[in-house]
Amino acid sequence: MMMPTDMLRDLERMRRQMDEMYGRRQVFSTYRYPPVNVYDNDDRITLVAELPGVSKEDVSIDLRNSTFTISGTRTVAGHEKGYEVLRCELPEGGFEKSIRLTTKVDESKIVAALEDGILRVVLPKAEEAKPRRISIQ
């Protein structure tokens, strides 16, 4: 039996093939771009996103109701005006990706940096969310 994620993957593959056949520009989809890794340890959650060619002025990060969101605009340099696009593998336009956090974070200590196309956001955990060692009496 096919699982829903398999169907979504197949639909996405078919959409990409149609885009290639008809020369359409790739459209960002919220579950694909930007690719994000999320790391967790006792003290913090770290999110690392690839944003090649995106300046920090074109990126917005937001934390609201335990949902972390990266959004912005990507513009590809070097578009040739007056030419028909025969192939377009460098997607551009608006993007947004949201990740639901299951751990409470200390919002006042969040640090974000964008360097060489890599966005790194460190979300320190709130004291009540950190694990505690309990001694046995």
Q: Check residues 121 and 4 and name the one with the higher pLDDT.
A: 121
Which residue type does 33 have?
Y
Between 50 and 83, the higher pLDDT residue: 50
User: Where do the domains of the chain lie, and which CATH numbers do they carry?
Assistant: 4-77+84-128 (2.60.40.790)
Q: What is the pLDDT of residues 82-112, one digit of tens each?
A: 887 777 777 778 889 999 998 899 999 999 9
Q: Which residues of 62-73 are buried (b: 16+ CB within 10 A; e: fewer)?
A: eeeeeebebbbe
Decide: 63 and 126 in contact? Cβ < 8 Å. no
Please state the pTM of the whole predicted model: 0.68
